[in-house]
Structure 1
Amino acid sequence: MPMPAARLERMLLLLFVASSFAGLVYQAIWSHYLGLVLGHAAYAQTLVLAIFMGGMALGAWLVSARGGRWAGLIRAYAIVELVIGATALVFHPMFVGYMSLSQETVLPALEGESTIRLWQWGTAALMIAPQSVMLGMTFPLMSGGYLRVAPGQDGQILGGLYFTNSIGAAAGALVATFLLLPWIGMPGAIMVAGVINVLVGLLAWRVSIGAEAAAAPAVEAPSIVAPETSVEQSERKSLGRFSTLLLFGAGITGASSFVYEIGWIRMLNQALGATVHSFELMLSAFILGLAFGGLWVRKRSARIVDPVNAAGWAQVLMGLAALVSLPLFANSFAWVGALMKVLPRTDTGYDLYALGSAAISLAIMFPAAFFAGMTLPLFTMALLRRGAGERSIGRIYAANTLGAIAGVMLAVHVLIPLMGLRLAVTLAALADILLGLVLLRGFVVEYRQRPYFAALFATLAVCAVSLLFGAPDPKAQASGVFRYGNERLGDLADVRFLRDGKTATVSFYTQGAMGTIATNGKPDASINLAAGEPMDDEYTMVMAASLPLALHPDPERIAIIGWGSGLTTHTILGSSAPKLVDTIEIEPAMVTGARLYGDSVKRAYTDPRGHLRVDDARTYFSASAKGYDVIVSEPSNPWVSGVSSLFTREFYRFLGKHLGDRGILVQWIQTYELNDRLFYSMVAALIEEYPYVHAYLTNSADVIFIASYAPIRDYDAARLQEMPLAADLKRTGLATAGDHQVRRFADRAVLKGLIELFDAPVHTDYLPSVALHAPRSRFKGESVLSVSTLMGVGMPLLEMTGGRRPVPVSAQVAATDASPAAKDHVNARRVREVLLGTGTGKGLDAPIVEKLKLLRDPATPLPAWLDAASVIADFSLGYLTPEDLQGVWIDPVWVGDRASDPRVAALLSAYAAASRRDAAAMSTTGIAALKVLPQGLAPNLLRDHLLVIAMLGAVGEGDLARVRKLEDVHGASVKVSNNFYGLARAYLSAWAEANAKTGATATAAR
């Protein structure tokens, strides 16, 4: 029995919403999957999109060519949905098997870069092409079947389907990124989409029974026909020319729409930040515009007498709206700045920022996208009303999709690199307007001269306004307004370079003597171009070069991921040890902009041993048969879209296969704009793969990890004395092995404890938690506090749990405020000199000098003396070697008669045991002193010291169960004195728990 028309319509539209929802989930998730195969280089990104769009076009064409012969289009639609869903359910295990086969068997056996790339691209196409073809079949099947049920309602049906298709797609893009990926990862998300397709297929099969009973048969040409009259021949030729024009127009509007989409997203990355969240919000804003354009056609289809006239005006208005979007973009930096100034740095504030980002994206994208959403239903209506038949639906859809592919390729590889984002969007807008004018002039039922010339005049006026007011302020583009709310750089800043590259907009600007290179407004490196104090980034970049030079036995072949300023490459080439230095950079504009650093990075551009490789890291290493002694990975911040995939367990394993037997991986991770759990999630991925890992805090906010499959040897200090490397190191206060070693704070055991403390999961390719959560962390201004906090604990905490090795005073570590570790060591050295009577304490802060006076004054009351002792111990005991603590806390020469007080004697015994790193003595003296120095007499800091000393004693003795027991028994009575010791005690318990699982103990305690 036929289904009632109203109910049938609701069912079909609901099914198509669900289907398009699943389709955009696939596109979003496939881009993550194939990014693991192809990388994130511009050609790889466009290839992924081309596979998807090309498959869609082929599917639509197949339906247009064959669908007219099929009796049950909705039933065919149901079968296609079921096959798509079944394929999705097995996609992840197939992909994992493919990756294993590819990386472990096929790629190592292939020779030649072209052969490797052919394998990557060809297999990537095969992974998603069949599903893409079937997805392309769904729209013409559904719309054709629907039209058979309700002939004569072409505009209403097509507009409704375009609307539901786009609404479902917009929802799919958002749900995939904001809900499914964080919740169940890539495998779970794609399975959810597969289940939806299966359910849609089953329901569509059920609907087809009632729908097709009421369907009119497809109108097909009879197999035997009478000869055509001359009039009929003329009409057929006219229809052919008309169809060709509209197919060509559908291709043009598809191309221009994708130029808009890519251009707008690239522009808004500079204002909103290049995160996975902002990308999906922008994409959804664009798709939403398409949806409401289709809805407009649906609601007014009965009143549209001439679809070509409506399509022509839609094209003109789309182009005009695109031109207007450019001045709007130029003002978007002020809008984002206003948002950042009023929103709290909280989770709620971030949610509001996301809504504000969506509103800004809609303001810029929606108008033009709205008119773009009108064009396809209108083109299809025009063909249907001229008698082209239902096959025209698939042909228009295919032509539009092929145009979209051409638009992506043109935008990324031609227009943007040659003329920049703004002119690329302008050219696409003029193409749309020209197409509209052609339709309005020669193909409408009634040509109207006055509106036509009004459109010409409006084009000239709007284009002039757009060119005049659409150029954003370079200081706004380079400002990174999405970070701190400053809508432009200060008046003293000078933007000396600004270029729209294939993948990002790169700027170089100076502020006084500081030169900064930035990607989409996010600073990647800063260098002091004068002879003054180095910038914080310089310490990190120089150490990323010097550490592997000093630690690897023979660092001849080195690869560096990320050009940045070029300083790391420049520094490495200051040594004669490397014979080959390959620097892999995805964006050529970065290399061009960094030239403005001049002599600071000169060797990176001139030394013949250095080679620039413009490529994505995964793609380059897959296509390269080279084995490296050292790989230095210096990616941008993990919250930047696409970057977090360089911090996963699978990527670290992948890099390990390109290291030699004693190869070293150097990994830079920022501690700012991240929280501890996200940070240690990436660290967990690293130590999961490499058994030997050391960590260094280079300044106050950057950590460098040294990872290897082989034991990491001691420094070869002689390597650092060679010119011109030695001059670079001296400038940054890193001239000696001691300057490097003082910054080391962790080994694998310490990192395991910190991972346990923050319950950090291993970061993997298939659950990209860092990309999904780091943008929120950045907005909230979070930082990793554990590293600097534990390094600021004055007891031998990190040393006895395996990380830090105190540097002897004889190393003469250079004093610098840029390194908390170096500053702590130098302050400890000054305290030692005062207590031994060999120094005045010059350079120490006044409060410390005052505590030293109280400590040596026999008249100081005991409570004040104990307070002074705890402060001075906290500034010295953990930062010096046992040898250098002789006379300070071991057999102290300064204590005088006060040592006869049993309470003082108990404290000095505990401090002496800790200074000697005598685990057995620490266990007993710490608790003994705690008993005779109760709260009220002894300050909280001192009692914290004693409990931590006892816990470290248990660590040193290997009694890890006792570590937690000490906290359980004494923790309640020992009030936490400050954040340093609150974290220290929690860390010790977590360290014991984590290392007890594997039977590990600290190196220093063995």
Structure 2
Amino acid sequence: MLELSSRRRSLALVLFLFSGFSGLVYQVVWARQFALVLGTTTYAIASVLAVFMGGLALGSWIFGRIADRRPVSGLRLYGWLEIVIGGWALALPFLIRLCDDVYRAAWPSVEGSFAAQLGLRIGLVFLVLLVPTTCMGGTLPVLSLYLVRSLKRSGATIGSLYAVNTVGAVAGCLVTGFFLIEWLGLSATLMLAAFINLAVGVLALTKGRGDVHVAVEEEEVGDAGDSGAPVSPTQMRLALIVFAISGFAALSLEVLWTRSLMFWVHIDTWAFTAMLSAFLTGIALGSFVMARLLSRVRRPLLALGLLEALIGVSAAATVPLLGALSGAFEAGTDTDTFGTGLTSHIMQKLGQCFFVMLAPTVLMGAAFPLVSHIYVQAHRKVGEGTGTLYALNTVGAIVGSLAAGFILIPVVGIQQSILLVAAVYGVLGVVVLWHATSTRRRPFAAGVSLLVPVTCVLCAVMWDAPDLVTRGPWAAREDIGEFEIRYYNEGPDATLAVVEKQANAVRLLTINGVTTAIDNYMDMQVHRMLSHLPLLIHEDPKTVLVVGFGMGSTAWGCLQHPVDRVDVVELLRAEKKAAPFFEHVNHGVIDQPRLNFIVADGRNYILASRKKYDVISFNAIHPRFSSNLYTKDFYELCSQRLNPGGIVCAWMTQNALTGAEWDMLCRSMTEVYPHVSLWYCNPEHYCLLASDRPMRVDWETFVERMERPGVLADLAESHLDDARALVTRFLMGDGVLKRHLGDGPVNTDDKPLIEFGREVEADERGVVLRILEARRPVDEVLVAGTISDEDASSLTGYAVAAGEMMLGQTEFWYPRRPYEDRLRFRRALALAPDSEDLRFNMKASSTALANARRVLRESPQNDYALRDLARILMERGDLEAAYDAVLSANGLRGDSGDGVYLQGLLELLRGDPHKSVTTLEPFIRANWDVSAAPPLLFSQALHAYATARERIGRPRPEMRQRANEVVPCSRELFDLMCSSALGDRR
């Protein structure tokens, strides 16, 4: 036998390491590129995955046979495969563009048929990826034949080769996910991988010149079972079947773990990279260790049976491990352990993934050298044997990934699916051990195998996994009564839940643990602005596209206008089922005849559809999690779907962003549209309106449209039914906005920079203040001559009040100076005293009044609710009713400092300073030295007491001095509050 030199062996391993690196680069980049063309639905992603892995299986099967039957140098054949892969990758950008053109052209023919759409997607991916993936699949059997010189050591050699390739894949995954896409972009990253393949291919051809095919030494080997007899055909087939089913189970678990871990590692770029890297690292480590230990394994079939059983046990054990992540999340120990920097952020994600997946994946990786050892020795053909093994395992993996997403999760649920797959491993272990042991030892084998079902039962019964594994952070809070899960759905695409806060009945729509919509006041203002603002400004809107259904409130708002049709494109079918839980804000919009609900990827629909719209409004999740809806390329697609003069209304957030990232996201839109305006919703949320024509508010038309019954009623629920309150949320537009954003990078499909932002460096307060500093006068958005002098004067006052409100909300959301938010709100209310929106910020709106009265109807003896009612009535100027309420409250509980202060203040405001002094004096005296009362309450009580004493001619100036020491701005706050309460605004 001609032994291979250590240098040539090392060369082959190094080349295969780089091959693994580039292979994972391709997998990541191609998946992203095809998602931009075919969409991000589960079916589209599955099409890409199935073709990719199917090509690997086909290549492994074909080239395994070619390698054995054609006496050529394995290294040279490997080199040619690498060159074909690299060359095809260089041509792929052109092929992707061609695929895009064909997809758009063919879409009208398949739009009405799901099967035709699926066939189109699979066909396009097949044509583009079949050649490179087939060649990639052929590399393992070809190099295996090149390196293996003895059947006896075939398992160790193939295992080492597989481990090295997987290490390269881990490196490719980490480097691509964490660095290359951010630094180079998708296209340049693809080119880099292609050049790596070409370099590997050229080097392999060069070093393989002169090599001759060397036959593998076929010495007698055996001992698969107890007896030491050679591996029987039955055992060989058993190993093959077990390995195929193991592929099914392994990929099923990867999908299930990924869906579970999303709750804790969050669904950003770092998370997916961390999860895939952890999975592959375990595989590589297990294969490497087993390759080293294989020479000591006397009964490989027995060892395989034990491995399968242990995989089942460790897979079942991931259920409580996922639960442990829940405990760490709730306790905050994840942050305490890893810190808050970017490196710590990444290490935290990697740590969580390794914590769950390491043990079972190491055992999975160890199985490959064992099966190779059993099967190749019995089959006697290294290339064909390795190729067959890898092909069947990959086919099993394809079926497993599809079954997990489309069958197991929707039918069984994530947690039960994990235990079910663990049980599959247990069954495999039982079957293999049964064949690997003698009759007298089979009871022992059966006993060992019982570990799996026992573990599964324990995990299912003793650990409340549906909460901790699948419901994420809401589960533990539900247990203590903080939240109630009203609706829950584990679907192929995502896990969706409707969660209700017990304290205030606010409902949240969550997807994979991330809150995407809330029915509270601030969030509903955002949704109503997204629906009404573009329709109020557009000259004559008739057709509307809403991307993202959410709670359904945006679609409902659009339907309140006289439009012909509202198309809603939503990725998750389950949101339609969740709609009844938000009927109080969507009013049963699903049943409206003018609504057309389309289950599809929103971006892909805009890409492929030929429909034109007057308005496109979309509210996606945070840009870090859905960057392809915040790119210049996406906005260009939207422009192609707009009629002339059409408006795009995009939700934009600055939450967890730096100033540079905010500018980049907005700049991505201003680079496409000549006319863009920015509108304020709250400090975190904004609306960007864009069009090919100037967007101006015709005041008379704007007011007339707002007064339509449905429009007015919907806006009134968010206190936006005053045209002045809505229009004064204009911040800036066109040239001013472009100058504000300045020059810099944009977010693109090829280089989605927002995904790689350093959230720990976010400066939300700084971003808001910079925006507000650049705010322009409201008349810049008005059509000249459409507003009367009287309305213009009123609008000017509202604009100043809106500015104060925006600053007040900023101080409330991102506090720096104590009580500055209250001062800003008070100033704003003095300028716009009839604004219910401003009163809401003071917790004294008509809605707050109705809620307080509702609580008292249910609980008339609730002293807290009575004091709250008194405060609201006082703020609204109803002093007599407020006084009656506070007297009732203090009659129930007279030791409340808040109640005493309110009573004394109301006595002062009602014109009875003597009684006010009598009421307040004991409270002031009790808190003078060491105040137990909140600082603001105490300071306001001091001012009320000082004012009352001044009214009766017995001033105490030290009272005001003390009040200003406690809260420096307390005098202005007190004066503004009194002015508000004494005004005639009941």
Bin the TM-score by the shorter chain: 0.7 to 0.9
C-alpha displacement of 1:827: 7.0
What secondary structure, in the 3-state scheme, does the structure 2 residue paired with 1:638 have?
coil
After superposition, the Cα gap between the structure-2 partners of 1:57 and 1:655, relative to the gap in structure 1 and judged at 3 Å, is same
- Matches for 1:313-324 after TM superposition, within 5 Å: 313-324=306-317
Query: What TM-score do the two structures reach when normalised by structure 1?
Result: 0.74
After superposition, the Cα gap between the structure-2 partners of 1:110 and 1:467, relative to the gap in structure 1 and judged at 3 Å, is closer
Cα deviation per residue 1:7-52 (whole Å; 9 max; x = unaligned)? 2222221111111011001101111111111111111111111111
Q: Which residue of 2 aligns with 1:277?
A: 270
In the alignment, is residue 505 of structure 1 matched against residue 488 of structure 2? no
- Which residue identity lines up with residue 375 of structure 2 in the other structure? L
Q: Which residue of 2 aligns with 1:761?
A: 745
Q: Which residue of 2 aligns with 1:668?
A: 651
Q: Which residue of 2 aligns with 1:686?
A: 669
In the alignment, is residue 308 of structure 1 matched against residue 308 of structure 2? no
Please point out which of 378, 395, 402 is paired with 1:409: 402
Please point out which of 561, 568, 592 is paired with 2:577: 592
Distance in 1, matches of 2:716 and 2:495, equals 34
Q: Which residue of 2 aligns with 1:657?
A: 640
Q: Which residue of 2 aligns with 1:919?
A: none
Contact 1:328 1:364 in 2 (8 A): yes
Q: Which residue of 2 aligns with 1:714?
A: 697
After superposition, the Cα gap between the structure-2 partners of 1:475 and 1:525, relative to the gap in structure 1 and judged at 3 Å, is farther
Distance in 2, matches of 1:624 and 1:442, equals 57
Q: Which residue of 2 aligns with 1:99?
A: 100
C-alpha displacement of 1:113: 5.3
Please point out which of 544, 549, 565 is paired with 2:551: 565
After superposition, the Cα gap between the structure-2 partners of 1:354 and 1:790, relative to the gap in structure 1 and judged at 3 Å, is closer
Q: Which residue of 1 aligns with 2:245?
A: 252
Contact 1:478 1:522 in 2 (8 A): no
Cα deviation per residue 1:372-396 (whole Å; 9 max; x = unaligned)? 1122222221112223422111011
Contact 1:117 1:623 in 2 (8 A): no
- Matches for 1:567-646 after TM superposition, within 5 Å: 567-575=553-561, 577-640=562-625, 643-646=626-629
Q: Which residue of 2 aligns with 1:495?
A: 485
Q: Which residue of 2 aligns with 1:58?
A: 58
After superposition, the Cα gap between the structure-2 partners of 1:448 and 1:551, relative to the gap in structure 1 and judged at 3 Å, is same
- Matches for 1:898-937 after TM superposition, within 5 Å: none
C-alpha displacement of 1:477: 6.2
Contact 1:749 1:802 in 2 (8 A): no
Cα deviation per residue 1:542-583 (whole Å; 9 max; x = unaligned)? 1111112212233222111111221111222233x1222221
- Matches for 1:37-52 after TM superposition, within 5 Å: 37-52=37-52
After superposition, the Cα gap between the structure-2 partners of 1:192 and 1:133, relative to the gap in structure 1 and judged at 3 Å, is same
Distance in 1, matches of 2:145 and 2:62, equals 13
After superposition, the Cα gap between the structure-2 partners of 1:94 and 1:475, relative to the gap in structure 1 and judged at 3 Å, is closer
- Which residue identity lines up with residue 735 of structure 1 in the other structure? D
- Which residue identity lines up with residue 16 of structure 1 in the other structure? F
C-alpha displacement of 1:672: 0.6
- Which residue identity lines up with residue 409 of structure 1 in the other structure? L
Contact 2:151 2:380 in 1 (8 A): no
C-alpha displacement of 1:89: 2.6
After superposition, the Cα gap between the structure-2 partners of 1:311 and 1:155, relative to the gap in structure 1 and judged at 3 Å, is same
Distance in 2, matches of 1:519 and 1:730, equals 29
Distance in 2, matches of 1:710 and 1:265, equals 45
Distance in 2, matches of 1:154 and 1:444, equals 23
Contact 1:747 1:803 in 2 (8 A): no
RMSD: 3.5
Distance in 2, matches of 1:804 and 1:341, equals 52
In the alignment, is residue 551 of structure 1 matched against residue 551 of structure 2? no
C-alpha displacement of 1:590: 3.0
Contact 1:306 1:445 in 2 (8 A): no
C-alpha displacement of 1:339: 4.1
Distance in 2, matches of 1:62 and 1:153, equals 24
Contact 1:259 1:408 in 2 (8 A): yes
Distance in 1, matches of 2:534 and 2:153, equals 71
Contact 1:343 1:353 in 2 (8 A): no
Distance in 2, matches of 1:498 and 1:817, equals 41
C-alpha displacement of 1:94: 4.0
Please point out which of 523, 537, 541 is paired with 2:515: 523
After superposition, the Cα gap between the structure-2 partners of 1:817 and 1:608, relative to the gap in structure 1 and judged at 3 Å, is farther
Please point out which of 500, 520, 524 is paired with 1:538: 524
Cα deviation per residue 1:429-482 (whole Å; 9 max; x = unaligned)? 11111112111112557872243122233123211221024434748966659x
Q: Which residue of 2 aligns with 1:145?
A: 146
- Which residue identity lines up with residue 456 of structure 2 in the other structure? C
In the alignment, is residue 783 of structure 1 matched against residue 769 of structure 2? no
Distance in 1, matches of 2:100 and 2:405, equals 28
Which piece of structure 1 moves more, 370-379 or 816-825? 816-825
C-alpha displacement of 1:345: 7.3
After superposition, the Cα gap between the structure-2 partners of 1:74 and 1:448, relative to the gap in structure 1 and judged at 3 Å, is farther
Distance in 2, matches of 1:573 and 1:290, equals 53
Distance in 2, matches of 1:93 and 1:784, equals 44
Q: Which residue of 2 aligns with 1:943?
A: none
C-alpha displacement of 1:739: 2.1
C-alpha displacement of 1:410: 0.6
Q: Which residue of 2 aligns with 1:363?
A: 355
C-alpha displacement of 1:296: 2.0
Identity within the alignment, %: 26
C-alpha displacement of 1:799: 6.6
Contact 2:437 2:445 in 1 (8 A): no
Distance in 2, matches of 1:804 and 1:340, equals 54
Q: Which residue of 2 aligns with 1:464?
A: 457
Distance in 2, matches of 1:122 and 1:844, equals 56
After superposition, the Cα gap between the structure-2 partners of 1:712 and 1:119, relative to the gap in structure 1 and judged at 3 Å, is farther
Q: Which residue of 2 aligns with 1:392?
A: 385
What secondary structure, in the 3-state scheme, does the structure 1 residue paired with 2:314 have?
helix
After superposition, the Cα gap between the structure-2 partners of 1:832 and 1:280, relative to the gap in structure 1 and judged at 3 Å, is closer
Q: Which residue of 1 aligns with 2:845?
A: none
Contact 1:637 1:670 in 2 (8 A): yes
What secondary structure, in the 3-state scheme, does the structure 1 residue paired with 2:412 have?
helix
Distance in 1, matches of 2:6 and 2:375, equals 26
C-alpha displacement of 1:298: 0.7
C-alpha displacement of 1:75: 1.2
Distance in 1, matches of 2:507 and 2:604, equals 31
- Which residue identity lines up with residue 127 of structure 1 in the other structure? V
- Which residue identity lines up with residue 248 of structure 2 in the other structure? A
C-alpha displacement of 1:809: 4.3
Distance in 1, matches of 2:592 and 2:145, equals 64
C-alpha displacement of 1:117: 5.6
After superposition, the Cα gap between the structure-2 partners of 1:672 and 1:833, relative to the gap in structure 1 and judged at 3 Å, is closer
What secondary structure, in the 3-state scheme, does the structure 2 residue paired with 1:448 have?
helix
Contact 1:695 1:703 in 2 (8 A): yes
In the alignment, is residue 701 of structure 1 matched against residue 684 of structure 2? yes
Distance in 1, matches of 2:176 and 2:478, equals 34
Q: Which residue of 2 aligns with 1:771?
A: 755
After superposition, the Cα gap between the structure-2 partners of 1:622 and 1:801, relative to the gap in structure 1 and judged at 3 Å, is closer
What secondary structure, in the 3-state scheme, does the structure 1 residue paired with 2:588 have?
helix
C-alpha displacement of 1:317: 0.8
Q: Which residue of 2 aligns with 1:6?
A: 6
C-alpha displacement of 1:335: 2.6
C-alpha displacement of 1:702: 0.6
Distance in 1, matches of 2:412 and 2:325, equals 21
What secondary structure, in the 3-state scheme, does the structure 1 residue paired with 2:737 have?
helix
Distance in 2, matches of 1:470 and 1:312, equals 27
C-alpha displacement of 1:303: 1.7
- Which residue identity lines up with residue 25 of structure 2 in the other structure? V
C-alpha displacement of 1:508: 1.5
List runs of 5+ in structure 2 lacking aligned partners.
220-229, 810-822, 843-986
- Which residue identity lines up with residue 769 of structure 1 in the other structure? L
After superposition, the Cα gap between the structure-2 partners of 1:801 and 1:130, relative to the gap in structure 1 and judged at 3 Å, is farther
Distance in 1, matches of 2:257 and 2:634, equals 31
After superposition, the Cα gap between the structure-2 partners of 1:781 and 1:596, relative to the gap in structure 1 and judged at 3 Å, is farther
Distance in 1, matches of 2:777 and 2:338, equals 36
- Which residue identity lines up with residue 467 of structure 1 in the other structure? A
Cα deviation per residue 1:709-745 (whole Å; 9 max; x = unaligned)? 2332425322222223211111212113322211111
List runs of 5+ in structure 1 lacking aligned partners.
221-236, 529-533, 847-1006
Cα deviation per residue 1:279-337 (whole Å; 9 max; x = unaligned)? 11011101011111111221111122332222111111111110000110011122345
Contact 1:477 1:488 in 2 (8 A): no
Q: Which residue of 1 aligns with 2:86?
A: 85
